[in-house]
Amino acid sequence: MSKQPAKPATPADNSSNAGFTDRDTLRAAARQHVEDGAITPSYSADRQTVIKLLNDALATEYVCVLRYYRHYFMARGMLAESVKAEFLEHAQQEQEHAHKIAERIVQLGGEPDLNPDTLTARSHAEYKEGGSLRDMVKENLIAERIAIDSYREMINYIGDRDTTTKRILESILAQEEEHADEFSDLLDGWIGD
Ligand SMILES: [Fe+2]
Ligand SMILES: [Fe+2]
Residue 106 Cα to ligand 2 midpoint, Å, equals: 23
Q: Where are the domains of the chain?
A: 46-188
129-151 average pLDDT score: 95
CATH T-level assignment (fold) for domain 46-188: Ferritin (1.20.1260)
Residue 144 Cα to ligand 2 midpoint, Å, equals: 5
Is 97 within any annotated ligand binding site? yes
Q: With a cut of 70, say whether residue 133 has pLDDT above it.
A: yes
Between these two residues, 112 and 190, which has the higher pLDDT value? 112
Task: Work out the percent of the chain whose per-residue pLDDT is above 70.
Answer: 91
**Cα torsion 139, 141, 142, 148: sign:** positive
Is 96 within any annotated ligand binding site? no
pLDDT at residue number 15:
52
Reported as a single tens digit per residue, the pLDDT across 182-193 is 999 999 988 776
Minimal CA–CA distance to 174: which of 105, 68, 102, 97?
A: 97
